[in-house]
Amino acid sequence: MEKLWSSILMFLLLIIRRNGLCQNFAESFHSHPQQEQQQHHYGDIGTDEPQFITKGHLYRAVVGDTIVLPCKVKNLGSYVLLWRRGAAVLTAQNLMVTRDARFKMIDGYNLQISNVRVTDAGDYVCQIGDVEPRDQVHTLEILVPPSVRSVPDHGIISARQGGTATLECKATGNPTPHIYWFRKTAKHSSMPLGEGPVLILEQVGRQHSGTYQCKAENGVREAAYADVNLKVLSPPELSTERQWIHASESCEIEIVCTLQSDMNTDVSWYQNSFMLEPTDRRTMYSRGNKYILSIVNFRTTDFGNYSCVADNSLGRTKKYIEVSGRPGPTEFLSSQYSSHLDRYNLTFKIESLPDLDEIKLLYRKLMINETYQRPGNWNELVLYPSVSRYDSRHFVMSYIITKLEHNSVYEVMVQAKNRYGWNEVSDIHQFHTRSYGYVNENMDFIINSISMTSSGSDIYRKKFIIIFICCQFLAAFLLSVIT
């Protein structure tokens, strides 16, 4: 209907223009010669034809902006100037034909469009109305900032471990946006993982789980982003804080297993292959991804091998924890270097709630030369010494191994027993005897003090001890040279 009215309007304007010319011609034919000459001067359109001053051009505008399309004509005379888009007439002379309030004429016949929309794109014609219309065409291109969304819209993708994950984003905008992929982490990397609407990850593992980000940009204003969350489905993974836990009657213990799984997983507890249920002394609960078995008022029947078992639709995982009253592993506190030629002060710490009943100490010399290293025979000592408690759970003991050879390398192991039995033999601890000079008898104590001191308040004492040791060694060296 609007196109029909526009055509009718153009036709009427042409008729009005032609009638005006005929009327001027009739009046000039019957008028006074002087009047005829004056009328011919103002009404004749044949001498100076209208011409466009402006030229057709391609204009670009961002959605929401305001754009002005120019149209300037010289010698317009009584010709009618129109703005149209396709067959629809927008303006005729100073008359606004379109009802869209965003369009208006400014500075003569320039067409202003406010708050431009995507649908405003196209050709706009400034036309001089005549039997054979003359046109000037402006092309308007609307630039649209990028927008992007994940596919599917909820942005969650699942893939099986070892399989392929396909991540997808769709972007819109003008010009067509480019899409880049990144791994979204606390420390954002500037290197893209890929380019294009689809990112394919092959042989995915648990390390691929997390949030990925697609970035769409087309040079129009700011880039747009969308997140895709990838969940890699796999058999559960379990880890334990400790594989051995020390306990005694009446104490309280906690066994902790940490679960890693991106799908629904059941966790259960076993003791010596028997599934456990909650009791008045035994509770099971979770805190985040940590699963905890708590036992209070501990009894001897509670000793044994425990396991936490995780099950989901893709598999089962199990971790073992031993709960024992036997002494814990031995921790050596001594320095590796003795200050003496023929003896070594061995200091170690052992975890045990009950008192220690017996200690075995085994040591041997290593036969070392330029071509081989061969251990000697073990020497075994059984000790029943009085040992002092380091804290409520640990004992500390020192023993001086004598009759050693100077400038030699030795290995030592320790095993301890309480009322629940023997612990495992310790790892090998290696130490060296000195080769020359005189060193104060208390040097072992000083070296061990350095090894055992850890608090910040002892920093200055440590520095003093180190300086003192250096002076002792320097004095011993000078004495050996002189003698």
Tell whether the model's pLDDT for residue 5 goes beyond 60. Answer: no
**One domain, residues 48 and 138:** yes
Tell whether the model's pLDDT for residue 449 goes beyond 80. Answer: no
pLDDT of residue 367: 84
Q: How far apart are CA 300 and CA 323, in angstroms?
A: 10
Q: How far apart are the first and last CA of the chain?
A: 124
Answer yes or no: pTM beyond 0.75.
Answer: no
The pLDDT-based confidence of 477 (bands split at 50, 70, 90) is low
pLDDT of residue 43: 39
Return the higher-pLDDT residue of 46 and 225: 225
Tell whether the model's pLDDT for residue 411 goes beyond 80. Answer: yes
Helix (H, G, I), strand (E, B) or coil at 30: helix
What is the count of structural domains for the chain?
4
Q: pLDDT of 140-189, one tens digit each?
A: 999 999 999 999 999 999 999 999 999 999 999 999 999 999 998 866 55
Last residue of a domain, one of 233, 255, 283: 233
Segments forming the whole domain that contains residue 96: 2-143
Return the higher-pLDDT residue of 371 and 352: 352
Average confidence (pLDDT) over 222-242: 94
Last residue of a domain, one of 302, 324, 346: 324
**One domain, residues 418 and 393:** yes
pLDDT of residue 187: 66
**One domain, residues 205 and 255:** no
Q: For the chain, what is the radius of gyration of the CA atoms?
A: 48
Tell whether the model's pLDDT for residue 259 goes beyond 90. Answer: yes
The pLDDT-based confidence of 469 (bands split at 50, 70, 90) is low
The pLDDT-based confidence of 248 (bands split at 50, 70, 90) is very high
Return the higher-pLDDT residue of 388 and 318: 318
Tell whether the model's pLDDT for residue 307 goes beyond 70. Answer: yes
371: CB partners within 8 A, 6+ apart? none
DSSP state of 373: E
Angle at 326 between CA 322 and CA 332, to 5 degrees: 100
Whether 148 and 188 have beta carbons less than 8 Å apart is answered as no
- DSSP class per residue in 422-458: E-PPPPPEEEE---SS---TTHHHHHHHHHH--SGGG
H/E run at residue 470 = helix 459-482
pLDDT of residue 470: 64
Q: pLDDT of 386-404, one tens digit each?
A: 767 878 889 999 999 999 9
**One domain, residues 360 and 221:** no
Q: pLDDT of 52-76, one tens digit each?
A: 999 999 999 999 999 999 999 998 8
**One domain, residues 135 and 257:** no
Whether 91 and 83 have beta carbons less than 8 Å apart is answered as yes
**One domain, residues 335 and 476:** yes
**One domain, residues 434 and 405:** yes
Tell whether the model's pLDDT for residue 228 goes beyond 90. Answer: yes
Last residue of a domain, one of 269, 295, 324: 324
**One domain, residues 98 and 241:** no
**One domain, residues 367 and 441:** yes
Q: pLDDT of 71-125, one tens digit each?
A: 999 988 889 999 999 999 999 988 999 999 999 999 999 999 999 999 999 999 9
**One domain, residues 458 and 404:** yes
pLDDT of residue 391: 84
Whether 130 and 46 have beta carbons less than 8 Å apart is answered as no
Domain of residue 272, CATH code: 2.60.40.10
Average confidence (pLDDT) over 289-298: 96
Whether 67 and 140 have beta carbons less than 8 Å apart is answered as yes
**One domain, residues 61 and 111:** yes
**One domain, residues 120 and 10:** yes
pLDDT of residue 189: 59
Q: What is the mean pLDDT of the chain?
A: 84
Return the higher-pLDDT residue of 28 and 9: 9
pLDDT of residue 183: 92
pLDDT of residue 481: 47
Average confidence (pLDDT) over 435-450: 52
Q: How far is CA 477 from CA 220, 339, 444, 466, in A?
A: 78, 13, 18, 17
pLDDT of residue 47: 52
The pLDDT-based confidence of 457 (bands split at 50, 70, 90) is very low
Least confident of 38-52, 89-103, 240-254, 401-415: 38-52
Strand partners, 360: 382, 415
Percent of the chain with pLDDT over 70: 78
Q: How far apart are CA 267 and CA 285, in angstroms?
A: 10
